[in-house]
Structure 1
């Protein structure tokens, strides 16, 4: 794992305050302590032995959404998010990780157990949930991560990976698909949409059935043992897959950012695995990014929708796409062929998902950030919201429902497939 000189980076902050206006948690709390420069100050004090990691500090460091708005705004691009991720590792070592998070991370490391648990969840979901619509459901009672008011993804009867053969031949070109856990077990229309698009393009699909979770939930929580185990498995497996595939595509911004960016950071002091990660992930793309750069999908969509009336759409940029991977033009380039695009007026705002800890222990913060974003999106005057990230989709649909909006969020892959 990457370890920082906390004091050196903390001292580099000149307290200019440019980070504060865009900070997701500061906009909610108004608390200087819970601002990027506040976090850096506390981290420096911790490193100098002037502050202990007590439960108050734990609450502060776990309130950050890791949206990276501060990194983008900072003149020195100070890695506040990575600093906090490392402090959360120290917190996990001191206080441990909640039993339900450890159970969740165990499932992420063992896909066959996750498959069984998902099937079990589908069979018994009516015991604890009421169906809200085809895509979502609401808990009948409150548990960790299961607040009664919130909408959750409706699990599928059969996972995406288990619904198809591993290789689907469409032509000479072939790509691997890293589907992501939420799209595999709940939002399966995303994977089905990918297959439809690839068939239209004449590109074969390798479903990569030995893939494991990217480990982003564990990384943001401080469970670095799960990160190391899953990262090494995926890197070694991707190397084999790329012997027969020109690229690996992923329809999930959080997953692709973890794979492309955070794996290399995580192995900063392990040159062997860092180089392997860097090499293999150079062939991994967000799905819309791949389709714009390496296919004629834009032209096909133009032909398919020529002369047809267009609905309007507002696009929400996942933090892990726009800020960490520089991907924001590509989904708009494709969606503009089939929709009239509207501007929300605040293209860098975080949806407020924030990860497992935010959703379970700090749901009030996720709710506040989500409602703010939902209200902004609702005012754009669009018929549809889109985001290339299942975490954003889940958070936005819950927030739009709380805001009494009829808008719903779809992955651009779903919308593009429907247009074909």
Structure 2
């Protein structure tokens, strides 16, 4: 892949007025209170780097890899400075200079090659009890040993027997005159397979035909947040070409994952800022990309159908994924649908980042993820809810671990799962 043109860091740095509104909401600054690990600190350092006043040494590498990319800062910045975007860009320079850890390179290779991933996950399902203690009550497991990408005593999602994409035919008619495509996301495809099953049940209840594009690749978000732009370039272009082949035959591509939706709908534009042809092609797809609850609430009669069903005794609290509320403005829709059949008890700050933060945060910087997860678990506990829900499997993985560390007996389910269950009442 050719060297990419990075954003103008100095322009962003010069525009920062140092007001400090970003600091109280910054996820990393709240767990590592240092000026350099604050949005205005990141921006200042990036400006110095572009002016040739800062060497990308290991200290700078550690600083730029400590950001959770939660976008809290851009949400409150009076000038809407794209702190997350410039950090994503400089991580590509870091990857070029220092390389990417071997276990990340293996992971990103698998994200490019679906068939190889399918084989490994099938083997993983067969042998997972050898290396993990299964905790069925929350669809998770604990490692019996530690590796760079697997920390002992942490909770990880268990593996499904068969991936979602391999469990169903490509075309599933539901007798309707409408048709949508499903982009499932990697965690929902291999681990939390009940999400896809629930989405198909909802579409069946609405008489909407489902198209499951079997050649879809990972959206590229894990690689993008790590600086592996070659993998992003490969996957994004493959997906765009593939989507173009069927986009006129479906009303929408619905995605039950906030991060995947944000990556395809928003970050593909950011990534292709210096590739005009691909930028335009990404933009043309944008109008048909929706989070699943967003499309179901806005474009169907699902709300009325749910209102005709009984109410559950379960109390639910909703966590707003950073890539849903802040990046896509999606937060009312899942609440409107889930609230038809469940009592929603809001936590004190549903918009607070859960602390997932991407591959690097979940491996080398896992101590930061743990620290950021503690207040979220405490908020959930105070609600007294039996279920926590969010339309993001990355949040699910992180929050499940945080609740496990806090010894909370609370179940996590995607809103799609809760809605599918309500339709059966």
TM-score when normalising by structure 2: 0.97
Question: Which position in structure 1 is the counterpart of 2:300?
Answer: 295
What are the residue-to-residue correspondences of 1:5-404 with 2, within 5 Å? Answer: 5-134=8-137, 135-170=139-174, 171-305=176-310, 308-404=311-407
Structure 2, unaligned runs of 5 or more: none
Structure 1, unaligned runs of 5 or more: none
The structural deviation recorded for 1:2 is 6.0
- Alpha-carbon displacement from aligned partner over 1:60-98 (angstroms, at most 9, x marks no partner): 100000000000010000000011011100000000000
Does residue 408 (structure 1) correspond to residue 411 (structure 2)? The answer is yes
Match of 1:379, SS state, is helix
Match of 2:166, SS state, is helix
Question: Which position in structure 2 is the counterpart of 1:419?
Answer: 422
Cα distance in 2 between the residues matched to 1:216 and 1:309: 35
The structural deviation recorded for 1:243 is 2.4
Cα distance in 2 between the residues matched to 1:408 and 1:77: 36
TM-score when normalising by structure 1: 0.98
Match of 1:30, SS state, is coil
Cα distance in 1 between the residues matched to 2:56 and 2:84: 18
- Alpha-carbon displacement from aligned partner over 1:160-196 (angstroms, at most 9, x marks no partner): 1101110000122110000000000000000000000
Cα distance in 2 between the residues matched to 1:181 and 1:348: 24
Kindly indicate whether the alpha-carbon contact (under 8 Å) linking 2:26 and 2:72 is maintained by their aligned counterparts in 1: yes
The structure-2 alpha-carbon separation of the partners of 1:42 and 1:311, relative to structure 1 and needing over 3 Å to count, comes to same
Kindly indicate whether the alpha-carbon contact (under 8 Å) linking 1:193 and 1:413 is maintained by their aligned counterparts in 2: yes
Cα distance in 1 between the residues matched to 2:148 and 2:409: 27
Q: RMSD over aligned Cα, in angstroms?
A: 0.9
The structural deviation recorded for 1:407 is 1.1
Find runs of 4+ consecutive structure 1 residues off by over 4 angstroms.
none
Kindly indicate whether the alpha-carbon contact (under 8 Å) linking 1:400 and 1:408 is maintained by their aligned counterparts in 2: no
**209-218 or 273-282: bigger deviation:** 273-282
Kindly indicate whether the alpha-carbon contact (under 8 Å) linking 2:103 and 2:149 is maintained by their aligned counterparts in 1: no
Kindly indicate whether the alpha-carbon contact (under 8 Å) linking 1:177 and 1:248 is maintained by their aligned counterparts in 2: yes
Cα distance in 2 between the residues matched to 1:366 and 1:213: 23
- Alpha-carbon displacement from aligned partner over 1:267-323 (angstroms, at most 9, x marks no partner): 112221111101112101000000011100011111012xx4532111000000001
Give the total of aligned pairs. Answer: 418
Cα distance in 2 between the residues matched to 1:281 and 1:125: 38
Match of 2:151, SS state, is coil
Kindly indicate whether the alpha-carbon contact (under 8 Å) linking 1:2 and 1:267 is maintained by their aligned counterparts in 2: no
Match of 2:290, SS state, is strand
Match of 1:210, SS state, is coil
